[in-house]
Amino acid sequence: MRQFPRVSMICGPREGIEAVSGALAQEFPAEQGEILVVDNGSIDETEERLRIIGSRNLARSFVSILIDTYNHERFIEQAIVSALEQDFPAAEREIIVVDDGSTDRTPEIVKKFEPRVRLLCKGNGGQASAFNAGIPECKGEIIAFLDGDDWWAPGKLRRVTDIFAAEPDVGLVGHGIKETFASGAVRIVAPEKDERLRLCSQRTAQVFRLRKSYLGTSRMALRADLVRKILPVPEALVIEADEYLFTLAAAKSEIIILQEALTHYRIHGGNLYLASGNGITGLRRKQKVMEALANSFRIVLPAMGISADTIECVVEIVQAEADQMRLMADGGRPWETFRTEEKIYEVLHADAPRNHRYFRMVTMLPALVLPPRTYYAARCWLSSRSWYRRIREKAVPVPEITHVAGPKEFQA
């Protein structure tokens, strides 16, 4: 590699902003140079403009891209290519793929990208075990996560690393997504604005639990020193290991959620989270994971100094989802169904319009008398009828997710 001497460039007020911008554009290793600006008492906007330019050109950290995959032979190539094609210097990043015991051609496809991509193969153990195997192998100061069946939008990596460079107190960055269906349809799921928060009070927990869809794998990037303090992830979390990571990260540091949709989240029959709920066996598997996640939070968060009311706010929706799956799969008492459904509704649709609340009350009456499995089977059957969906869409559409303003907006 060609060696350059360390160079200092001094720009005076006469050279102006253009000189600084030109210096930054030079093809010269940033780590071997510096730009010093002597401002001779400017009374215009020079100082502020220089500060903005500097924040946009802070030195980036070395980044590890960690891709976890299992039987993604149809998708893994697009995931890897989306990482390789990021507008980001190859010398400043590494790509590690953890194959969680695939039985298809996934490892073979990944090997085509060596040596630009490093492949780690392990026995099938689930998402938590893949994270526990892959994270210690990462050399970067920032770890950006990507599922093997998703892919990144152009510019994602640069946008996220720029935030880390400008915000030293931020430990995690998430963002909006583009839900992409097999039909080619795309639905953007994104917050109304960029937000900054920390999981430190009941109020911030109320916001956090409604922002989780912007923080999962393929969206989240964390500082490596933070994520290593969280490890190991409980290996009972064969799915939902990402929620364990981003929840504890939010409890330990500030997080930023960007409005931009920087990841394509692929909706297909093989999604581990979606597919795990198919059939009674899948429901039981998923319920077991959600129960383990709730119990893990009850143990770990108090040890981090998080207040009891904050923990309850985080855990109640996780526990309610676990209870709902248990009732669907194994049944229980009718009053349990009613209580569980009411809890989920109040968290997700607290500001639903009055007409929908009346509709909800009527549809919940059968839950007070029917066995849970019968109630859920009937509800599933009804929701699968096209005539019912048409009536619902016109008469009583599903309300939007509860609107809870973030405690502090972040302006990018």
H helix intervals, 3-75: 16-24, 46-56
190-202: average pLDDT: 95
Position 339 in a domain = yes
pLDDT higher than 80, residue 196: yes
406 pLDDT tier (thresholds 50, 70, 90): low
Residue 29 has pLDDT above 60, yes or no: no
**How many helices and strands, by DSSP H and E, does the chain display?**
16, 13
> Are 102 and 210 in a shared domain?
yes
Range of the domain at 136: 63-270
Q: Taking the model in full, what pTM does it have?
A: 0.83
Q: Are residues 256 and 302 in the same domain?
A: no
Mean pLDDT of the chain: 87
SS3 357: helix
- Number of domains comprising the chain: 3
Provide, rounded to the nearest whole percent, the portion of the chain with pLDDT above 90.
Answer: 75
Contact indicator for 263, 187 with CB cutoff of 8 Å: no
Is 111 contained in some domain? Answer: yes
- Say whether pLDDT at 258 is over 50: yes
317 in the same domain as 341: yes
| 3 state SS for 318-345 | HHHHHHHHHHHHHCCCHHHHHHHHHHHH
Based on the fold, state whether residues 208 and 323 are members of the same structural domain.
no
Boundary (domain end) residue, out of 240, 270, 300: 270
pLDDT for the residue numbered 400 = 81
405: amino acid identity, one letter: A
Whether the CB-CB separation of 260 and 175 falls below 8 Å is answered with yes
pLDDT of residue 133: 98
**Full DSSP string of 219-286:** T-EEEHHHHHHHPPPPTT-SS-HHHHHHHHHHHHSEEEEEEEEEEEEEE-TT-HHHHTTSHHHHHHHH
Peptide bond into 232 cis (omega under 30): yes
Mean pLDDT of 170-175: 98
pLDDT at 401: 81
Same domain for 340 and 388, yes or no, is yes
3-state helix, strand, coil in the chain (%, to 5): 50, 20, 35
CATH number of the domain where residue 156 is located: 3.90.550.10
For 6-21, the pLDDT digits (tens) are 444 445 544 554 554 4
State percent of the chain over pLDDT 70: 81
Burial 268-305, CB ≥16 within 10 A → b, else e: eeebbeeebbeeeeebbbbbbbbbbbbbbbeebbeeee
Quick check: 61 and 142 in contact, CB under 8 A?
yes
Task: Examine the domain organization and report whether 321 and 224 are in the same domain.
Answer: no
Given a cut of 70, is residue 201 above it in pLDDT? yes
Residue 403 banded pLDDT, cuts 50, 70, 90: confident
pLDDT of residue 399: 83
Cα–Cα distances in Å, from 76 out to 13, 38, 98, 317?
52, 50, 11, 32
